[in-house]
Amino acid sequence: MASPIAATAPYWVPALSMLMIYRRVRRNFGVQPWRPVRSGIRLGVLVLVAAMLCALGAFQPSLALGLGIGATLGALLGLLALKHTHVAWRDDQRTYTPNPWIGGALTALLVGRIAWRYTHEGFAATQAPSALTMGMATVLIGYSLAYVIGLMVQMRRLAAERAATDPPAP
């Protein structure tokens, strides 16, 4: 007898995947408000996932090359995206406008991998992870780490510039 979670997985896994994709697409376009607490939590989760991927590479050397290349490419893409991100004050709130092309390409990579996995494996994890899959995962993690850290630095710089130019209150 299957557990209720396993029996309902074909329904809620695609729904959660679509919610995740929707949120990712929404974050790629237009002016975004800066939410420091949310970004700090995101950074903590990303560091934890990156540490787990590093441990996976240490325990499965066949995946190490894919993990390393993916992390490097992701970090480089994150730095490139930061160069094309505009930060500004809008209505007394720090905001940023991400580059839609880089974020859109990474979202397409994620959607493509999810679609491939669903159509070929039906979300059943019967095979060991491949170096390509792990490389794609680390591209996204490396990108997100570099982007969040860089955005935090840019937002601190933006706040410091405003504090330096604003006259002191009487």
Q: What is the DSSP track for 106-123?
A: HHHHHHHHHHHHHHHHTT
- pTM (predicted TM-score): 0.79
The pLDDT of residue 123 is: 55
* Sheet strands side by side (includes 93-97): 32-33, 93-97, 86-90
Query: Taken in order 161, 36, 142, 53, is the CA torsion positive or negative?
Result: positive
- Residue 18 is predicted with a pLDDT of 73
The larger pLDDT score, comparing residue 89 to residue 130, is at 89
Give residue 21's identity as a one-letter amino acid code: I
pLDDT, one tens digit per residue, over 49-90 is 999 888 888 888 888 888 899 999 999 999 999 999 999 888
Q: What is the mean pLDDT of residues 13-20?
A: 72
How many C-alpha atoms does 141 have within 13 Å on its Cβ side?
22
**CA–CA gap between residue 81 and residue 88 (Å, rounded):** 16
- Residue 163's pLDDT is what? 81
The reported pLDDT for the residue numbered 2 is 60
The pLDDT score that the predictor gives to residue 6 is 64
Residue 126 pLDDT exceeds 60:
no
pLDDT score of 21 more than 80: no
Tens digits of residue pLDDT in 34-49: 899 999 999 999 999 9
Site of tokens 């709130």: 93
Closest CA to 97 of 154, 139, 170: 154
In terms of Cβ atoms closer than 10 Å to its own Cβ (0-12, 13-18, 19+), residue 150 is: middle
Distance between CA 8 and CA 134 in Å, rounded?
Answer: 27
Give percent of the chain above pLDDT 90. Answer: 28
For the stretch 147-165, pLDDT in tens is: 999 999 999 999 888 888 8
Say how far apart CA 101 and CA 81 lie, in whole Å.
Answer: 9
How many angstroms separate the CA atoms of 56 and 70, rounded?
14
For 22-33, write each residue's pLDDT tens digit. Answer: 776 777 777 888
Summarize the confidence of residues 11-15 as an average pLDDT.
Answer: 69
Structure tokens at 9: 């997985």
Distance of alpha carbon 151 from alpha carbon 102, whole angstroms: 15
Residue 170: what pLDDT?
A: 61
